[in-house]
Amino acid sequence: MGYARIALLGPPGAGKGTQAKRIVEATGFVHLSTGDILRDEVARGTQLGVEAKGFMDRGELVPDELIVNMIRGRIEAASSGFLLDGFPRTLAQAEALEKIVALDIVININLSREEVVNRLTSRRVCRNCGAIYNLHFKPPADPTRCEACGGALYQRDDDQPDVISNRYQVYEESTAPLVEFYRQRGLLQDVDAERPSDEVFECITALLRA
Ligand code: AP5
């Protein structure tokens, strides 16, 4: 792959986590998902987890300072390549990131609001290994068990319809402006996610090889 410092942008449920898992499998880059890191902090009951939980449950963003402090060291440690998933999410985060490292490419995964709601209300995630399923588009053989590791599948607390609606609004207000921010810097590449996961992956790998 030609690029080693990559960020995935896009609304909640666009498929960032799904594609990120495949990209890091193919490249060996470090997957840095701020959502996954925060959920782990919540599950372990750390101070950061306690502070973040209320924001996450309401579908609001966790304050920039907490997020930047949480991710900075992980980015600096990933010297052979990283894939940012869910970060940056505000202009302040993007500006802080520029001071840590220069990105090679930002992939903007586009999906309509209607399809976001459709995919998120039917998402299930493995509590053990984090594998992502969908009751309609990628149904597990047993809707309660992960096919990869046998772990229990669960529905994320923030995948309730009212929280999804709030997350989408927050995306439009706070994160969508980053599309222009990165376009102006010549880093942005758009990908249409309204098609099967394999096709989205092919499109992304073609961009990363360029
Ligand atoms: P985070 O975990 O980052 O959530 P998100 O950005 O809302 O994204 P999701 O994980 O919900 O969706 P995704 O795009 O990864 O889609 P997925 O691949 O699962 O953040 C959660 C919370 O943490 C935030 O609300 C905030 O509070 C906090 N937070 C995190 N980062 C932060 C930051 N930087 N600053 C401040 N706060 C932060 O796919 C969705 C579903 O669709 C799955 O079921 C999947 O199987 C299915 N699917 C995927 N692709 C396809 C396809 N092509 N066709 C059909 N189905 C598909």
CATH at residue 153: 3.40.50.300
Which atom, in ligand 1's list, is nearest to the CA of 60? 27
> Do 16 and 123 form a contact (C-beta atoms < 8 A)?
no
User: What does each C-alpha distance from 115 to 31, 47, 70, 178 come to in angstroms?
Assistant: 25, 35, 31, 21
Tokens linked to 171: 């995306």
Which among 12, 44, 29, 16 has a CA at the least distance from the CA of 106?
Answer: 16
| Structural domain boundaries, residue 142 | 5-209
Q: Indicate which atom in ligand 1 lies nearest the CA of residue 109.
A: 14
Catalytic residue among 39, 89, 119, 124: 89
Q: CB within 6 Å of ligand 1 — which residues?
A: 10, 12-18, 34-35, 38, 55-56, 59-62, 67, 86-87, 89, 93, 119-120, 123, 132-134, 137-138, 158, 167, 193, 196-197, 200
**pLDDT (tens digit, 0 to 9) for every residue of the chain, 210 residues total?**
579 999 999 999 999 999 999 999 999 999 999 999 999 999 999 999 999 999 999 999 999 999 999 999 999 999 889 999 999 999 999 999 999 999 999 999 999 999 999 999 999 999 999 999 999 999 999 999 999 999 999 999 999 999 999 999 999 999 999 999 999 999 999 999 999 999 999 999 999 987
Whether the predicted model's global pTM rises above the 0.85 cut: yes
Distance CA 87, CA 8 (A): 8
Q: How many domains does the chain have?
A: 1
Q: Please, which residues bridge with residue 126 across strands?
A: 153
